[in-house]
Each structure stands twice: as structure tokens, then as C-alpha cells.
Amino acid sequence: MSALPVVLAVDLGGTAMKGAVVGEDGAAAAESILATPTDDILPALVRLLEDLRRTAMDDGHDVVGAGVVTPGMLDEQRGVVHYASNLGWRDVPLLDILRAELRLPVAVGHDVRAAGLAERNTGAARGFGDFTLVPIGTGVAAALVSAGGAVTGATGAAGEFGHIPVIPGGEPCTCGQRGCLEVYMSGAGVSRRYQAAGGEPLSTRRIVERLGGDALADRVWSEALDVLAQGLNILTLLLDPGLIVLGGGVSHAGDALFGPLSDRMSAGLAWRDRPPVVRSALGGDAGRTGAALLAFDAAR
């Protein structure tokens, strides 16, 4: 019996390191999710990868590579994380470090762009060459896929959809700009605006649960939908995606989100149709699934 080829895949975020042993079908043969330490992230990442490798070998698999995706601005070719505020990293040559430690083919990628490629391979965007994945969690990002490839930009910083200025001179963002999309529509933004307007300190999920019976919740959520529709229409007019996939915690708002959002998008577009807007199929696993795809590519 020949050993199954697998890769070690990690989605390294500011809160959690989501690791898995993944086969070529994208399925996880083993998982390990750890809290990201505040200091010494690199040694903890290497230990997680070594633990995953041991698990894979104990199970009789053939480990052919490793893939790690991170937030921030990075040079994916050279595997250097230029800046990742969540990790406190600046100019970390992650690819070289992991190659030296693991002695395996390694790939380093951007978490959201990798998630986009994963949605295209095995998720909600199968068969789409041009689409956009918009994860709406605490903040908002986007993977822009054009002609089958992720748009990376000149400095690896493309896709900052949460910080496009949609309301001129609008409310201040934690990023220092004003009127950013995620000030109004994000897990943190909806909750903060609800409280600033006199509401209780509630999560966006709880606020969505109050819709229809809480006028303040209705107003803050409606304003969030207005801004998201405006942002997605900007994206549609600029990039002409065939599909928009929403991910992240807020994408679980279901009927409170997709129906009214689609109506607002259609109302804002006069001479072209809006693309379909659907929920992510891979959810929180998309980043790790993308890391596995990159790892198999590196192993080839």
C-alpha cells in the first residue's frame, strides 16, 4: 500500500493558528488549532508544523510540503511578510526560515487571497475565473480574482476593501482614515456604532437577532447594508466579477443580509446587472485550504 501524499497547512492569524494535515482532495486528515502567542510566534509556528508532520507520519502519510498563509502585506514570490500588524511582524523572511527549519518544499501566501483560490477550487466559486471573496469579520478584506489569478498589486497590498473611503469626511476608522467601509459594516463597526448611538454593548450577531424589534438595531444594520451595497457596487463597476462570495462571521446573518443587500445593490446600478452574491462554502477553513493548495503547488 503506497503512502497518501499530504501537506501541512497553517492559517496563521492574530488570534489563532489553524493547522491541518491535508490531502490532495482538500480534506483534513488531522487538525490542530492553537492560540497565537503574543510573543515568539515563529518558534510556536514551527512547533505546530513539526507536530502536524509527526501526526501525518504516524498515520503513514507521505508529507510532500507545507504552506502557511498570513494577513498583511507580503511578497508571495519571495515569501517575505513585509508588514502584518496582527502578528507584529515587519520584513520577516518566512519562506526562507520555514524551508531551513522543515527541509520541505514550502509556500507562503496571503490568507484572504489563498482563501479566494480555495473557494474557486473546492468552494462557492467553482468554475469562476473572475470573482471576489469578501470576508466580513471583525474587519473586512477582499480577494480579487481576475482571469483565474489573485490580484496582488504592486506591493502585495491589494484587496483592502474594508478601508476604501465610501463616506467622504465620514466617521473615523481605527486605521486613521475617515469614512472607511468597515467603520460602518463589519463585526466591530456595527457593534461600536450601536453602542455609540446609545445601545447596549452587544455583538453584531446579537444586534442582528434584535432586528424588527429594536429600532436602533434596524437603523445601524440598515446603514451597514447601504455602505456594503455601495462598496460592492464600486467593486462590481471596477472589476466586473461574475460572482461575489461573502465570508466571515457576518455572512452568517442569512436572510437579514443577502436579500436586503441584493436589493440595495440592484437599486444602485442603473445600466448593468449586479453579479450573484452568495455565502462562502468553506467558511473559516478557506484560508487553511488555500494554504494546502499553495503547498501542493510548491511540492510539484
Residues engaged in binding its own copies (CB under 8 A): 128-131, 142, 144, 146-147, 149, 151-161, 163-168, 173, 175-178, 226-227, 230, 233-235, 237-243, 268-272, 275
Q: Minimum CB separation from its own copies for residue 208, in Å?
A: 22
Please state, in angstroms and rounded to a whole number, the distance separating the CA atoms of residues 236 and 269: 10
**Cross-strand partners of 34:** 17
Helix (H), strand (E), coil (C) string for 149-178: EECCCCCCCCCCHHHCECCCCCCECCCCCE
Nearer to its own copies, 28 or 227 (CB): 227
- Closest to 142 in 3D by CA, of 134, 152, 130, 153: 134
Q: Minimum CB separation from its own copies for residue 112, in Å?
A: 13
Q: Minimum CB separation from its own copies for residue 282, in Å?
A: 21
Q: Minimum CB separation from its own copies for residue 264, in Å?
A: 11
Nearer to its own copies, 98 or 227 (CB): 227
Q: Which residues of 93-107 are buried (b: 16+ CB within 10 A; e: fewer)?
A: ebbebbbebbebbbb
Nearer to its own copies, 5 or 276 (CB): 276
Q: Minimum CB separation from its own copies for residue 179, in Å?
A: 9
Please give the backbone phi and psi of residue 282, each rounded to the nearest 5 degrees, phi first. -95, -20
Nearer to its own copies, 116 or 159 (CB): 159
Strands 131-135, 143-146: pairing is: antiparallel
What count of Cα atoms within 13 Å lies in the side-chain half-sphere of residue 66?
A: 28
Nearer to its own copies, 167 or 188 (CB): 167
Nearer to its own copies, 5 or 165 (CB): 165
Whether 292 and 20 have beta carbons less than 8 Å apart is answered as: yes
Q: Minimum CB separation from its own copies for residue 110, in Å?
A: 12
- Closest to 20 in 3D by CA, of 2, 34, 32: 32
Nearer to its own copies, 159 or 187 (CB): 159
Q: Minimum CB separation from its own copies for residue 150, in Å?
A: 9
